[in-house]
Amino acid sequence: MSFSELGLIPELLRAVEEAGYSEPTPIQRQAIPVVLEGRDVMGGAQTGTGKTAGFTLPLLHKLSRWANTSASPARHPVRALILAPTRELAMQVHESVQTYAKYLPLRAACIYGGVDIKPQLDELRRGVEIVVATPGRLLDHVEQRSIALNQVEFVVLDEADRMLDMGFIPDIRRILGLLPAQRQSLLFSATFSDEIKKLADSMLKSPQLIEVARRNMVSETITHRVHPVPGAVKRDLLTWLLLEDVAAPQVLVFCSTKLACARLARQLQKDGIAADAIHGDKNQQQRTEALEGFKSGAIRVLVATDVAARGLDIDDLPCVINYELPPTAEDYIHRIGRTGRAGKQGNAISLVSPDEHLRLSAIEKLIKLKITQEIVPGFDKDATSDSARRILRNQNADRRAHTSPDRERPRNAAPDTLERKPNLASDGFDFNRPYAETESKPVVPGKTSSPPSAARKAGRPIPFLLGGNGR
Ligand code: AMP
């Protein structure tokens, strides 16, 4: 099926073609006709499925009858409201709206907190048809009477489950109460809890349920791997993986707290890795800079909290590392949804200390997959900060020697220290709690990573992920 078969206007077809999309994704194939028909939608779609275009394209199609070039603000009332949980996601959706609307004289504004409200006031005063907003700042505008919502015809709630997690539901209910009852409403969520269903019941009228991937499922193109590791040497293992093992040019690392996130980024920098942090304590400009540095490749490793990373769309992100497992199993799905997007291969690595085994079990239950576990030699239960640092120092020296022309050494040869380290499989990972098995078995066929390679079994570090040696 092509986009033109969906009946979209030529201005949109042209924009879509220029965006390089040859055919609609499954969510687009399903959602576009339903939205064009005027029905409410309850959409279950993961990030990376193309859901933004799935709702934006039909909205723009319907709004096109209002498109005009008049300078009068009265000719540009707010007709579509898209609510997103974070600034980054709002910016991304706004960017998509602008991409798809480039041949239509429709105006779109992005309204989010943490920045000066004045430019937003000016933009709203001039008139805009489409507002993409985070709930808190939108309510600030409502209170200042800088926005009128009485002509809104379409409302979209994007990432509703995250809105719930972030405590936005009362704000959302307040906003919905300000909209005309006669409107079309769309709700998208990667997961559906009872609370989300309750919200949907109060917001949507006989909605069409659209689901592209089964709920709580992760992309089939992602390879999962767990490295059991004592908490004390986690940071060293991360450095080792980034320098020696993960060949990915871009890696998104998740941390649970803002503090840990900032500290980890600094530590990685000290270890010679181009890293930056993105979390809620950074101002908008710092967050934008970090994200842009990452997208451009100037920064290899972006350390992020769940909230800050929500909805980030980074093309071709090959690897996500969970420095800590998230407290909520569903967040694992959101985190790793940054990789393996749009059918591409992705890697999800988790560093798991013994106190996190309950989290791991909950995640495995949710995604219906036993994740392969590998203890990295040298970072096993006997490892201490000192021994781990020694490995990194040796590794550094080895790398220097390795690049020196007068020393011949096979490219992936292991340093002596690591060659003597006990092997993970034979070592029988225990750590006094543990995981059900040292090596996991796929429960869902075709959904797990391969077992440890021969080289790894022999206790040698090899670049298992992407074929390179990570330098
Ligand atoms: P989303 O799930 O909306 O965050 O979209 C994920 C990514 O897929 C974005 O980078 C979009 O630009 C891209 N995308 C959306 N629709 C298509 C399509 N039909 N073909 C190819 N890429 C697409």
Q: Is 238's pLDDT higher than 90?
A: yes
Q: What is the 3-state secondary structure (H, E, C) of 114-146?
A: CCCCHHHHHHHHHCCCEEEECHHHHHHHHHCCC
Q: Are 307 and 261 in contact (CB under 8 A)?
A: no
List residues near ligand 1 (CB under 6 A). 21, 24-25, 28, 47-53, 313, 315, 341-342
- Output the pLDDT for position 435: 31
Beta-carbon contacts of 189 under 8 Å, excluding residues fewer than 6 positions away, are 42, 43, 44, 159, 160, 161, 196
Residue nearest to atom 12 of ligand 1 (CA): 50
For 265-275, how does the pLDDT look when each residue is reduced to its tens digit (9 = 90+)?
Answer: 999 999 989 99
Residue nearest to atom 14 of ligand 1 (CA): 50
Instruction: Identify each DSSP E strand in 33-191 by its residue range.
Output: 41-44, 80-83, 108-111, 130-133, 154-157, 184-189
- Output the pLDDT for position 317: 82
Q: Are 337 and 47 in contact (CB under 8 A)?
A: yes
Class at the top of the CATH hierarchy for domain 222-400: alpha beta
Q: Is 381's pLDDT higher than 60?
A: yes
Asked whether the whole model's pTM tops 0.85, one would answer no
Length of the chain measured in residues: 471
Q: Is 405's pLDDT higher than 70?
A: no
Task: For residue 23, give the ligand 1 atom closest to its CA.
Answer: 19
Q: What is the average per-residue pLDDT within 94-98? A: 96
For 170-218, how does the pLDDT look when each residue is reduced to its tens digit (9 = 90+)?
Answer: 999 999 999 999 999 999 988 778 888 899 999 999 999 887 755 456 6
Residue 237: alpha-carbon gap to chain centroid? 23
Question: How many Å apart are CA 244 and CA 464, to the nearest integer?
Answer: 10
Burial 267-283 (b: 16+ CB within 10 A, else e): bbeebebebbbbbeebe
Backbone angles phi, psi at 292, to 5 degrees: -70, -40
Backbone angles phi, psi at 432, to 5 degrees: 60, 20
Read off the tokens for 328.
């909520």
Q: Are 92 and 158 in contact (CB under 8 A)?
A: no
Every domain of the chain and the residues it spans? 3-211, 222-400, 422-471
Angle at 470 between CA 464 and CA 471, to 5 degrees: 160
Residue nearest to atom 1 of ligand 1 (CA): 50
Q: Are 79 and 245 in contact (CB under 8 A)?
A: no
Task: For residue 51, give the ligand 1 atom closest to its CA.
Answer: 3
For 5-36, how does the pLDDT look when each residue is reduced to its tens digit (9 = 90+)?
Answer: 999 999 999 999 999 888 898 889 999 999 99
The three-state secondary structure class of 184 is strand
- Output the pLDDT for position 287: 79
Mutate to test the pocket of ligand 1, among 17, 52, 132, 333 (most ligand atoms within 8 A of CB): 52
Class at the top of the CATH hierarchy for domain 3-211: alpha beta
For 275-299, how does the pLDDT look when each residue is reduced to its tens digit (9 = 90+)?
Answer: 998 877 777 778 788 888 888 889 9
Beta carbons within 10 angstroms of residue 287's beta carbon: 23
Residue matched to tokens 């719930």 = 164
- Output the pLDDT for position 211: 79
| String of DSSP letters for 288-343 | HHHHHHHHHTS-SEEEE-HHHHTT---TT--EEEESS--SSHHHHHHHHTTSSGGG
Backbone angles phi, psi at 448, to 5 degrees: -125, 165
Q: Is 220's pLDDT higher than 60?
A: yes
Residue 409: alpha-carbon gap to chain centroid? 39
Å from CA of 141 to ligand 1 middle? 31
Burial 196-208 (b: 16+ CB within 10 A, else e): beebbeebbeebb
Average pLDDT of every residue of the chain: 81
Tell me, yes or no, if the two domains 3-211 and 222-400 fold the same way.
yes
Sign of CA dihedral 111, 102, 95, 39: positive
Q: Is 159's pLDDT higher than 70?
A: yes
Mutate to test the pocket of ligand 1, among 21, 46, 88, 210 (most ligand atoms within 8 A of CB): 21
Q: State the DSSP H helix or E strand holding residue 253, giving kind and residue range, or none if neither.
A: strand 251-254
Å from CA of 342 to ligand 1 middle? 7
Read off the tokens for 468.
């390179």
